[in-house]
Copies of this chain bind each other. A is one copy, B any other.
Amino acid sequence: MPQGRPEHVPDDGLTTRQRRRQPVLAVHTGAGKGKSTAAFGMALRAWSQGWPVAVFQFVKSPRWRVGEESALRALGAGPDGGPVTWHKMGEGWSWIQRPGAERDHAVEAAEGWAQIKRDLAAQSYRFYVLDEFTYPMKWGWVDVADVVATLAARPGSQHVVVTGRDAHPDLLAAADLVTEMTKVKHPMDAGRKGQAGIEW
């Protein structure tokens, strides 16, 4: 079982305590399951520390992540831990009041990223899940260089987890922690259906 021992101690002049407070940029990528699920699991730890947690969900289906959302919202509303804010592109971002407007996913994604930039600058949260955020980058809706530069320059101790397949190499290079989830075997390969409580 892992002991958490670094492979070497860097000559960076920082104390262990300072090193423990360095903000982390994590990327969960690959074709396997668990990229987002692990990010939401990390959010449990952040919540437990009492940190303000924000989720920005760059997905379209309303059914996605309903379990995680209800759980994290319940935690955020409870007496312990940190507050939880959940933003969904799929229903139109909550800070944009534009009922009935035509949906343009590229514009919506850019609006989501603009809000994240404002929140990072204001240090609104301490832990961010940017769920499926690799796709707007891949599709050119959000500028990768801007994402990398903004994350590299973010103030304070704000941890960020980006999930999604096909993460851009520049994002991976900027990340502190990269995990690739690889599909070894999936029930849908055998024709099984997505299941309540398992897939959502």
On chain B, the residues within 8 Å of A49 by CB distance are: 67, 196-197
- Residues in A170-198 with C-beta less than 8 Å from chain B: 172, 175-198
| A188 and B6 within 8 A (CB) | yes
A144 within 8 A of B: no
Copies of this subunit: 2
A40 within 8 A of B: yes
| A10 and B59 within 8 A (CB) | no
A185 to B26, CA, bound (A): 9
A93 within 8 A of B: no
- Residues in A62-76 with C-beta less than 8 Å from chain B: 66-68, 70-72, 74-75
On chain B, the residues within 8 Å of A28 by CB distance are: 34
A25 to B191, CA, bound (A): 15
On chain B, the residues within 8 Å of A66 by CB distance are: 48
In the complex, per-residue mask of A37-71: 1 if CB is within 8 Å of any chain B CB, else 0: 11111101111110100000001110000111011
- Residue of B whose beta carbon sits closest to that of A49: B197
Question: Closest CB of chain B to A154's CB: distance in Å?
Answer: 15
- Residues in A10-46 with C-beta less than 8 Å from chain B: 10, 12, 16, 19-22, 24, 26, 28-30, 32-42, 44-46
| A1 and B176 within 8 A (CB) | no
- Residue of B whose beta carbon sits closest to that of A80: B74
| A20 and B178 within 8 A (CB) | no
Q: Beyond the given A37-B38, A78-B78, A178-B185, could you list 5 further A-B residue pairs with CB under 8 A, ordered by the A residue number?
A: A6-B193, A22-B195, A32-B181, A47-B67, A71-B81
> Can you list 30 pairs linking A and B with CB atoms under 8 Å apart?
A1-B61, A1-B132, A6-B188, A7-B188, A9-B191, A20-B194, A21-B195, A22-B195, A33-B177, A34-B181, A37-B42, A41-B68, A42-B198, A44-B67, A45-B197, A46-B67, A47-B67, A48-B67, A48-B71, A70-B81, A74-B78, A74-B80, A126-B197, A127-B197, A159-B197, A176-B185, A176-B190, A176-B192, A178-B186, A179-B184
